[in-house]
């Protein structure tokens, strides 16, 4: 094998040298520099992309910070208005509402004083209720008159007597606060003595007549009365009135939320929600009005939003001590960043004692402005995330699971807002190789290199295989020549010595000499014909031949040659007498090669069947044996030159591997074909198919 490789390399030295100098070295050289050029192109692309991203991030930061500065400037202008110096409640609210109408992104505007008193004028339709209860002078004077009523209510449990005493005091009272408190006590006693209708009348009068007063304990008289009305409807199973009253209570609670203390708003909202949940738990699906629960949920969300704003405003006021200058502060409230801008007011309004004006922005308020820039100006091929540097929460954008490390990260100046901008390169928008001409040049060079290398390797492989086959062929031919020559030499020696006297024995020796001579002749003829075929010089002399005569003659010759081997041939011919246009010598050679193969590979059953049949305009000469057969994987290769099957080589070491190659060529030259049908271990049937010469019968 190694020797063959050396020989092949030596024989093809010139071709290999030309390929190495003309194709291989230039391709490697150009591919190397092409890869470097690609790497430089990619680096330039990345640098350009990075610069674009830096410019984009700077513009994003500047846009948001300009937004914050603009809000600060707007708030300063608002604080310098003369309205805050001497105007009343409605003028201040009108000014701020108008400012927010012009600029919806002004934030939640809050006004507070140094003691931390908070006012949200934008949301507040009515002035805030007093937070502390001041007892009227009249209330202090009638305490002795109330004593008898209280004794009857709480000690004696005589609610009718208590109501009578309360009504006597009510008839003499002139103060609205006192009258409201007494009516509340009367309604309470009516409920205790099961006078629900009378209690409803009293609570209704309190809601209608005294909506802005407080109870003795400092709670909103209106909403305490409304909740008591709902409890009466609930206890009376009057669900229709309860549903209607609960929605009215929600409406009023939302309207007056900013006039009340936020803790009270939450208490009223929770109590109202609890009453409704108790009704729903009774599974009164046929009683609950359509869309009632949807409306309740909507009101609850609105209230929760107001409560959140209220808590945020209170938190901002308590957490930041404003200086006498513009101040920007970042707060963390309920897991969200909050920006507070506070402005000192120029003058104090004696009625409100306002010292500072502020604007509160949640992260959502700020990202509304960022959203416009991100959606309109984000370069193609990148995705943007904005994270909180305090909680690592994503403020804007969506995390791409495929993106791992950001290409660019930057913070806002002075951490206002406290965000980190992260830029990710999308995989599909990076440096695209197939759009670069250098890539296609390298690919073309590599394809040429691989294709050329493949051709060279294939050439070397074929040369090595050919050398191997030639070596095997020479060995086989040598063996084929040696066997008959040795036999002929021994016989001639015996004949020359004159030791053989028996005429029959002498005739047998002559027959053997003739057989070996014919065998050598056919072997030489095969080799010579193959050489002519390889050189394209094989010529055929075509003439009309009776096919039955040719077959019988060759079968008789074959039987004589193999008489001692014990082979018999069963000949069967149908519709004989027609002719074919052929070279008789070549056709005899093809037929004999097939018969010889059948004998060579039929060791167990020494019987060969030959049939001649006419099939349409063709004649089929078939030779069948019961030999070793041909594996299916080898049936297409047996016509290749020098090829011998593995099993065939092990059974018969003799053979040149040219027999069937010659048969195939001869049949093709005659316009015919050779067909092999075989099963391994069962035998083979080889058919020579020739066209019948018209008019030759």
What percentage of residues in the chain have a pLDDT greater than 90?
13
> Measuring CA to CA, how many Å separate 147 from each of 42, 151, 440?
94, 6, 104
pLDDT at 528: 62
pLDDT of residue 193: 92
E strands along 280-402, which residues?
A: 327-333, 336-344, 356-362, 382-388, 394-396
Least confident residue range of 121-125, 207-211, 337-341, 615-619: 121-125
Q: Which pLDDT score is estimated for 206?
A: 93
pLDDT at 428: 46
Q: At which residue do the structure tokens 């809601």 appear? A: 207
R_g over Cα of the chain: 57
pLDDT of residue 128: 63
Domain chopping of the chain, boundaries: 48-133+214-220+248-426, 539-691
Question: Contact, 442 vs 31, CB < 8 A?
Answer: yes
- Does the pLDDT value for residue 433 go beyond 70? no
Q: Which of 264-268, 373-377, 667-671 is most confident?
A: 264-268
Asked if residue 300 has pLDDT above 70, the reply is yes
Position 439 scores a pLDDT of 61
CATH code, 539-691? 3.30.565.10
Q: What single string gives the DSSP state of each residue in 439-501? A: HHHHHHHHHHHHHHHHHHHHHHHHHHHHHHHHHHHHHHHHHHHHHHHHHHHHHHHHHHHT---
pLDDT at 334: 73
pLDDT of residue 696: 46
Q: Output the six-digit token pair for 170.
A: 């009510």
Task: Identify the residue with better confidence: 439 or 95.
Answer: 95
Taking only the tens place, the pLDDT of each residue in 471-487 is 655 655 565 556 666 76
Element (H, E) at 129: none
Angle at the Cα of 675 (from 674 to 679), degrees rounded to 5?
145
Name which of 655, 312, 264 is nearest 476 in CA terms. Answer: 655
408: helix, strand or coil: strand
Range among 50-54, 150-154, 558-562, 573-577 with highest mean pLDDT value: 150-154
Q: At what angle do helices 503-535 and 437-497 cross, to 10 degrees?
A: 160
- Higher pLDDT pick, 438 / 256: 256
Q: According to the 3-state scheme, what is the secondary structure of 425-452? A: ECHHHCCCHHHCHHHHHHHHHHHHHHHH
Q: Which two structure tokens, joined as six digits, stand for 82?
A: 């003369």
Tens of pLDDT, residue by residue over 446-468, are 676 666 666 666 766 666 666 66
> Of 138, 141, 223, which is closest to residue 184 (Cα–Cα)?
223
Which residues share a beta bridge with 109? 359
The reported pLDDT for the residue numbered 480 is 57
Q: How far apart are CA 226 and CA 208, in angstroms?
A: 10
Which pLDDT value is given to residue 324?
A: 45
Stretch among 158-162, 396-400, 436-440 having the lowest mean pLDDT: 436-440
Return d(Cα 608, Cα 216) in angstroms, integer. 130
Report the CATH number of the 48-133+214-220+248-426 domain. Answer: 3.30.450.220
| pLDDT of 120 | 66
Per residue in 557-615, pLDDT (tens digit) is: 888 777 767 778 888 887 777 788 888 888 888 888 888 888 877 767 778 888 888 88
Between CA 605 and CA 627 the distance in angstroms is 7
Mean pLDDT to the nearest integer, 320-345: 68
pTM: 0.48
DSSP classification of residue 151 = I
Q: How confident is the model at residue 697 (pLDDT cuts 50, 70, 90)?
A: very low
Asked if residue 322 has pLDDT above 70, the reply is no
Distant-in-sequence contacts of 521-524, Cβ < 8 A, 24+ apart: 522/589, 522/592, 523/477, 523/480, 523/481, 523/656
Q: Which residue has the tokens 């609210």?
A: 93
Closest among 685, 111, 69, 658 to 413, alpha carbons compared: 69
Residues 17, 218: Cα–Cα separation, whole Å = 107
Both tokens assigned to 263 = 């803790």
Q: Which of 111, 75, 73 is nearest to 349 (CA)?
A: 111
Phi first, then psi: give them for residue 378, nearest 5 degrees. -70, 125
**Average pLDDT over the chain, rounded to an integer:** 76
């Amino acid at each position: 094998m190694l020797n063959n490789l050396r020989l092949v390399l030596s024989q093809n030295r010139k071709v290999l040298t030309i390929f190495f100098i003309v194709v291989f070295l230039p391709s490697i050289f150009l591919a190397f520099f092409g890869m470097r050029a690609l790497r430089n192109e990619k680096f330039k692309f990345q640098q350009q992309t990075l610069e674009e991203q830096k410019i984009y991030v700077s513009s994003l930061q500047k846009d948001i910070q300009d937004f914050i500065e603009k809000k600060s400037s707007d708030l300063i202008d608002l604080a310098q208005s003369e309205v805050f110096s001497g105007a009343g409640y409605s003028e201040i609210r009108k000014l701020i509402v108008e400012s927010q109408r012009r600029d919806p992104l002004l934030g939640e505007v809050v006004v507070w004083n140094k003691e931390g008193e908070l006012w949200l004028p934008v949301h507040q339709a009515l002035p805030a209720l007093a937070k502390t209860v001041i007892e009227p002078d009249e209330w202090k004077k009638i305490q002795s008159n109330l004593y008898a009523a209280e004794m009857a209510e709480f000690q004696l449990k005589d609610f009718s007597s208590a109501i009578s005493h309360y009504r006597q005091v009510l008839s003499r009272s002139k103060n609205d606060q006192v009258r409201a408190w007494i009516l509340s006590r009367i309604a309470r006693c009516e409920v205790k003595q099961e006078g629900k209708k009378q209690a409803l009348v009293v609570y209704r009068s309190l809601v209608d007549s005294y909506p802005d007063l407080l109870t003795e304990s400092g709670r909103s008289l209106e909403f305490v009365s409304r909740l008591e009305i709902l409890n009466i409807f609930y206890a009376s199973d009057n669900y229709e009135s309860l549903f209607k009253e609960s929605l009215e209570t929600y409406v009023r609670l939302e309207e007056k939320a900013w006039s009340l203390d936020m803790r009270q708003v939450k208490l009223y909202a929770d109590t109202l929600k609890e009453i409704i949940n108790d009704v729903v738990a009774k599974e009164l699906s046929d009683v609950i009005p359509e869309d009632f629960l949807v409306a309740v949920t909507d009101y609850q969300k609105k209230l929760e939003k107001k409560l959140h704003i209220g808590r945020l405003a209170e938190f901002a006021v308590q957490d930041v001590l404003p200086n006498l200058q513009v101040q920007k502060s970042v707060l963390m409230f309920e897991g969200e960043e909050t920006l507070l801008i506070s402005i000192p007011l120029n003058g104090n309004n004696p009625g409100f004692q306002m010292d500072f004006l502020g604007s509160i922005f949640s992260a959502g308020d700020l990202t509304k402005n960022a959203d416009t820039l991100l959606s309109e100006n984000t370069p193609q091929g990148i995705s943007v995330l904005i994270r909180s540097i305090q909680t690592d929460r994503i403020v804007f954008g969506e995390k791409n699971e495929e993106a791992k490390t950001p290409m660019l990260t930057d913070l806002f100046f002075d951490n206002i807002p406290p965000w980190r901008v992260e830029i990710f390169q999308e995989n599909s928008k990076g440096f695209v190789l197939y759009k670069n001409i250098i890539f296609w040049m390298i690919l073309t060079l590599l394809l040429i290199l691989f294709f050329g290398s493949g051709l060279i390797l294939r050439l070397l492989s074929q040369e090595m295989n050919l050398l191997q086959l030639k070596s095997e062929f020479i060995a086989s031919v040598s063996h084929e020549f040696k066997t008959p020559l040795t036999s002929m030499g021994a016989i001639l020696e015996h004949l020359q010595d004159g030791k053989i006297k028996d005429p029959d024995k002498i005739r047998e020796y002559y027959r053997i000499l003739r057989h070996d001579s014919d065998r050598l002749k056919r072997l030489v003829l095969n080799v010579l014909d193959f050489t002519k075929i390889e050189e394209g010089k094989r010529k055929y002399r075509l003439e009309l031949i009776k096919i039955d005569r040719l077959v019988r003659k060759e079968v008789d010759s074959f039987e004589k040659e193999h008489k001692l081997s014990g082979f018999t041939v069963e000949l069967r011919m149908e519709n004989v007498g027609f002719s074919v246009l052929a070279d008789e010598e070549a056709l005899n050679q093809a037929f004999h090669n097939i018969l010889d193969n059948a004998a060579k590979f039929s060791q167990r059953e020494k019987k060969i069947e030959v049939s001649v049949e006419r099939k349409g305009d063709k004649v089929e000469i078939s030779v069948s044996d019961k030999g070793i057969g041909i594996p299916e994987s080898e049936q297409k290769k047996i016509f290749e030159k020098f090829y011998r099957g593995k099993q065939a080589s092990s059974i018969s070491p003799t053979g040149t591997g040219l027999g069937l190659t010659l048969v195939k060529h001869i049949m093709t030259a005659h316009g015919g074909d050779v067909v092999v049908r075989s099963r391994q271990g069962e035998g083979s049937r080889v058919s020579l198919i020739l066209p019948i010469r018209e008019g030759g019968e």
